[in-house]
Amino acid sequence: MNVVRINSAHTSLDSSLKIVENVRKVSDKIAILIDTKGPEIRITKMDDSEGFTVEAGDSVEFADNVEGISTKGLLYTNYYNFVAEVPVGVNILIDDGEISLTTIGKKDGRLICVANNKGIISGKKSLNVPNVNIKLPSISDKDREFILWAIENNLDFIAHSFVRNRDDLMAVQKILNEHNSHLKIISKIENQEGVNNIDEILTYCYGVMVARGDLGVEIEYQKIPTIQRDIIMKCQARKKPVIIATQMLHSMIEHPRPTRAEVTDIANAIYQSTDAIMLSGETANGKYPLEAVETMTKIALEIEKQHEPFLNLNMIDISEPVAAVLAKGIVDATVKLPIKAIVFDTMTGRTGRYISAFRPNVPIYAKCYKDYVMRELSLSYGVYGYLINIYDSKDDFIKSSVKTLLKDKCFNRKDMIGVVGGSFGPSAGATFLEISTAINMIM
């Protein structure tokens, strides 16, 4: 695994800190990502923890009182203006779509609905109203608490849930800026508004997670594969890492082997050139967490053997054109020459993201001058990070880097490798490309 995800919806600050401490004991190269709950709507708690059963055709009503205790037939939500903002004639989905209601009227401050199927409604369950834009706040008090905790404990990524537009991201970035934090924002795309505004969202975040659970509730399921493919392509063109998430090996929560459909799902995400594939319930509370990680790794390594670099990629939003040209040049060289690895140095990670965007079929070794940049690059396709000190010259950088990688058996002395680096100091960006055997580079 390259990144550990902590879901703030299902953990406390104390238990989260224990996870962070354990990860840091294992490796300083594994990035840690914390999920916020984001702007979501839930039913308030019920006195009866088991809830109540509705039949198709039963009436269910909503009223606005965030402190209200939901009861049979009368539901309150954690959003103060739910009844006012939800129109008549739309569907409300409860518990990830397990129960569907249709709104049929409003009377005396209540939203009147009819159940479309049989099921159990219980407290704290999620609510989705597809294709209706509800004016939820960008971050909750709990989100703020976890963001501040992440800053204090030097985490790497904030995965903000239910991102709808740039305002949701700017609210998180404002907190990060106030504390001069290096944490990067991952936008979780989980509704139609987020899909519609994906170009705007990509401008204001480090990367994207295609969270197919809620996305599949909000949007017709047959559209999800196309949305997934399109978001991956947009992220790749803008050098933004992209994660495909939810139910990738769902059957392995209970069983030691995946279904063939799950194997194909993972393979398709890799064929589409995603940067990362994510496990959630499989490792959070499944019976076979280790086997799930091993299974996903085996599938990924097998499928990656089949791909070719995307040299016709039209990258956009290029802030360093020299680095972009060198990145494409070195990846092109791996097709024409027997190059076994790409090595580069970086202060910000930008060159690594450029190289990764072309999806070379050889490992990319990042020599990073900052520890958090090393961990950030663990989310980018094919990149393996190392922390280094600033060298006096490019020759010193090349010799030292190649010696370290030879020691780690990343390649052999006679293997040809490519190096991208800067001749004018780390802050000046990439300016040169060298290709030769490893033994020549350490002489």
Catalytic residues: 5, 42, 188, 246
CA torsion, ordered 223, 228, 230, 232, to nearest 10 deg? 180
The tokens for 152 are 């204090």
Q: In terms of C-beta density within 10 A (0-12 exposed, 13-18 middle, 19 or more buried), how is residue 145 classed?
A: middle
The residue type at 371? D
3-state secondary structure the chain: CCEEEEEHHHCCHHHHHHHHHHHHHHCCCCEEEEECCCCCEEECCECCCCCEEECCCCEEEEECCCCCCEECCEEEECCCCHHHHCCCCCEEEECCCCEEEEEEEEECCEEEEEECCCEEECCCCEEECCCCCCCCCCCCHHHHHHHHHHHHCCCCEEEECCCCCHHHHHHHHHHHHHCCCCCEEEEEECCHHHHHCHHHHHHCCCEEEEEHHHHHHHCCHHHHHHHHHHHHHHHHHCCCCEEEECCCCHHHHCCCCCCHHHHHHHHHHHHCCCCEECCCHHHHCCCCHHHHHHHHHHHHHHHHCCCCCCCCCCCCCCCCHHHHHHHHHHHHHHHHCCEEEEEEEECCCHHHHHHHHCCCCCCEEEEECCHHHHHHHHHCCCEEEEECCCCCCHHHHHHHHHHHHHHCCCCCCCCEEEEEECCCCHHHCCCEEEEEEHHHHCC
The residue count for the chain = 443
CB contact at 8 A, 408 and 438? no
Cα separation, 342 vs 377, in Å, equals 14
Which residue matches tokens 């390594």? 301
The tokens for 112 are 């009147």
CB contact at 8 A, 245 and 187? no
The tokens for 427 are 């802050």
- Please count the other Cβ atoms lying within 10 Å of the Cβ belonging to residue 412: 12
